[in-house]
Amino acid sequence: MDAGLEASAPVILLGRGGSGTRLLSGMALLNGVFLGSTLNASQDLVEWLEVRYPLALEATIAGVAAGSDRDAFWRADSAAGCGSA
């Protein structure tokens, strides 16, 4: 594994279903990228699902404008969930 990878900033992997995301996550795992503490059989992260699903729904259905009260709520909620608040 690349020694610089361990000390680097977080890695964010994004994709749509059917676009090769499992291949991408498999490659990341093989290269030492931590994908989470709770992965299912398909190596999908499940520990944030309950926490972030409401945000995903709201952002998709109603939209969450940057700088809005809802944006501030979700940012504070995310920081609290990560132990930053």
Q: pLDDT per position in the chain (85 positions), as tens?
A: 555 555 567 777 888 878 888 898 889 889 888 888 888 887 777 877 777 777 777 777 777 788 888 888 878 877 776 544 3
Length of the chain: 85
83 phi, psi to nearest 5 deg: 80, 15
3-state DSSP of 24-40: HHHHHHHCCCCCCCCEC
Rounded to whole angstroms, the Cα distance separating 33 from 26 reads 10
DSSP code at position 2: -
CB 65 within 8 A of CB 71: yes
pTM: 0.47
pLDDT of residue 83: 45
